[in-house]
Structure 1
Amino acid sequence: MDGWLVWLIVAAMLAVAEIFTLTAALAVLGGAALATAGFAAIGLPAPVQLLVFTVAATAGMLLVRPIALRHRGQSERWRFGVDALIGQTAHVTQEVTGTDGRVRIGGEEWTARAYDRTLVIPAGASVDVLEISGSTALVYPRE
């Protein structure tokens, strides 16, 4: 069997394995195997093919890993919908108790209740949104 075909099969197997693991490491190795298949197709000997694979895999890991780490920490910035409201400051427009109340979050009025059911939060107070349950904000006073 030709060397380029072996490297192509290895690249395909790594790509399939990456689909199941989602680690990005196997995708980098698959890309290195694919690059090595190209060099094997032009007739490079096996030791040089292994060197090409090693260099390509190392370069891929050195380039991809910092990018992946940088993007991993951005999940908090990209929240949307009601998830984006958690952690926001809200202003109480109608007294908030453990059962009912109203707050204004970013220009929208929401039904609310105190996260600690024993609290009574007066109108005009600032609160933090700790959770969204359905269409009700669970809040806790800032002071």
Structure 2
Amino acid sequence: MFGLSDGWLWAIAGLVLLIAEVVAPGFFLVFLGVAAIATGLFTLLFDLSLAPQLALFVIYTALAVMIGKRWYAEPDTADQAISLNDPARRLVGRTATVVDPIDEHGGRVRLGDSEWTARGGPAATGDRVEIISVEGNCLRVGGARTMAAPVGERDA
């Protein structure tokens, strides 16, 4: 067709699909494009009839999708949804600086540019504590380390 071998037609179709991927939303045409180019290269190397070409295209598409799915796998969306709807949950694991000493009745910590009520083990002013959980507007902290924060360090 058009004076081109089947291999070149597959390769051109693959390039068209890759270009269409840039224009179209989603991320599926790239797999078809890669499979078409691979089929074209194989067909250029080995003169194949249409049936084996189509079989190769299906196999290459399946391989491209499997590799792409593994490569671009998204993390567990259930955990993301919980964090999205509960921004306070993102505070867990961060380090805060004790502003008012923490005892059995509580105290205050600075996290970024905010101060929070905190409860947990005893910690003196200036200690660095890790946020274990968030209970309403109170941070549960632990792991007090006596050290001054380096100059210019922002709480992470």
Q: With structure 2 as the length reference, what TM-score do the two structures score?
A: 0.51
Structure number with bigger Rg: 2
Cα drift, residue 35 of structure 1? 0.8
Q: Which residue in 1 is equivalent to 2:137? A: 140
| Cα root mean square deviation, aligned | 3.8
Matched, 1:55 2:59: yes
Q: Which residue of 2 aligns with 1:73?
A: 75
Cα distance, 1:21 vs structure 2: 4.4
Q: 2:98, 2:24 → 1: CA distance?
A: 46
* Aligned 1:26-37 pairs, distance under 5 A: 26-37=29-40
Contact 2:109 2:115 in 1 (8 A): no
| Residue of structure 1 equivalent to 2:123 | none
Q: Does 1:4 align with 2:7?
A: yes
- What does residue 93 of structure 1 align with? 99
Work out the CA distance in 1 between the residues paired with 2:138 and 2:132: 6
Which among 38, 43, 59 is matched to residue 41 of structure 2? 38
- Structure 1 position 13, deviation (Å): 1.5
d(CA) in 2 for partners of 1:103, 1:32: 56
Q: Deviations over 1:13-60 (max 9, x none)?
A: 111122234644221211110011112223211221111111111122
* Residue identity opposite 1:141 in structure 2: C
Q: Flag structure 2 segments of 5+ consecutive residues without an equivalent.
A: 80-89, 102-107, 121-130, 141-156
Separation in 1 of the partners of 2:133 and 2:113?
12
- Provide TM-score, normalisation by structure 1: 0.55
Q: Given the superposition, is the C-alpha separation of residues 91 and 28 from structure 1 closer, same or farther in structure 2, using an over 3 Å criterion?
A: same
Is 1:112 paired with 2:135?
A: no
Quote the sequence identity (%): 21
SS of match in other structure, 2:48: coil
2:20 is matched with 17
